[in-house]
Amino acid sequence: MKILIVEDEPSLREIMSRALTQEHYVVETASTFAEADAKIAGYDYDCILLDIMLPDGNGLRLLEHVKQLRKRENVIIISARNSIEDKVEGLDIGADDYLPKPFHMAELLARIKSVMRRGRDGYGRDITMGNVALDPESRRVSVAGRDLPLLKKEFDILSYFMTRPNHIVDKAALAEAVWGDHADEADNYQFVYAQIKNLRRKLEEAGSDIEIKAVYGFGYKLAAADKNDPDK
């Protein structure tokens, strides 16, 4: 799950970023309208936390851009201007929630979970494919009913694939979703290959009937394991 924090106040941005990273979200930040606008246009997020008063513009206009681009991001407005007009306008444009400052981190986390659950990704429900089940909220994976311990990035990769079964996943898109900021600009993807290799091995050893297959020249896809493969 990837979150963009749009907030110009450095200390609040830092506190939010730390709290969300601790909760295993992939976090990116923007401190100005221009920076946020460029990120929203160029990347996909699961959720955007949006401050309204930015030094170079009004956050509500960013929300309009999200809607104009027909993006699927959940947007939670975070604003010190606890005015009813802002709230009404924000929800009118299509924000999913509104949280007035100051707020407790626990409340922010609860709101994020709540909008994600309502969202179109089926967040919060178990995702199953073959004999593999993944619970996005508790971050647990099981194979044929038995727990499969995964490292953080391995879980994130599997989760990315399981929400896109049978889709060919491009290395750059995967790197961007799982590693965040600028990973897609890396000149090689050794870090992606290494994690996928470990994840594949773990799935195979656990007797998974799905596997991550390499699609030569394109990337990878998650599909039913080939049980007749003589190498197995």
In this chain, which stretch among 31-39, 50-58, 156-164, 194-202 interacts with Ca ion, using CB under 5 A?
Answer: 50-58
Q: How many other CB atoms are found less than 10 A from the CB of residue 163?
A: 17
Q: Are 81 and 52 in contact (CB under 8 A)?
A: yes
Q: To which H or E segment does residue 63 belong?
A: helix 59-68
Measuring CA to CA, how many Å separate 190 from each of 33, 195, 197? 33, 9, 11
Interface with Ca ion, residue 53, by CB under 5 A: yes
Does 214 sit near Ca ion (CB under 5 A)? no
Question: Which stretch in 53-61, 96-104, 120-128, 196-204 sits in contact with Ca ion by CB under 5 A?
Answer: 53-61
Per-residue exposure over 96-124, b if at least 16 CB sit within 10 Å of its own CB, e if not: bbbbeeeeeeeebbebbbbbbeebebebe
Peptide bond into 102 cis (omega under 30): yes
Size of the site for Ca ion (CB under 5 A): 3
Closest approach of Cβ 27 to Ca ion, in Å?
Answer: 18
Phi, psi torsion values for 120, nearest 5 degrees: -85, 0
Among 5, 6, 8, 17, binds Ca ion (CB under 5 A): 8
Q: Quick one: which segment of 5-13, 29-37, 128-136, 177-185 binds Ca ion (CB under 5 A)?
A: 5-13
Which residue number, 53 or 194, has a Cβ lying nearer to Ca ion? 53
Please give the residues from 124 up to 183 whose contact with Ca ion meets the rule CB under 5 A: none
Quote the CA–CA distance of 55 and 80 in Å, as a whole number. Answer: 14
Task: Indicate whether 103 belongs to the interface with Ca ion (CB under 5 A).
Answer: no
Query: What tokens does 164 get?
Result: 């896109």
Smallest distance from Ca ion to CB 96, Å: 20
Contact 75, 45 (CB under 8 A): no
Interface stretch with Ca ion, choices 23-31, 47-55, 114-122, 123-131 (CB under 5 A): 47-55
Q: Which stretch binds Ca ion (CB under 5 A): 1-9, 85-93, 172-180, 208-216?
A: 1-9
CB of 73 to Ca ion, least distance (A): 19
Among 51, 96, 97, 176, binds Ca ion (CB under 5 A): 51
Q: Which of 102, 110, 142 is nearest to 15 (CA)?
A: 102
Instruction: Please state the closest distance from residue 21 (CB atom) to Ca ion, in A.
Output: 21
Q: Which is nearer to Ca ion, 12 or 115 (CB)?
A: 12
The residues binding Ca ion (CB under 5 A) are 8, 51, 53
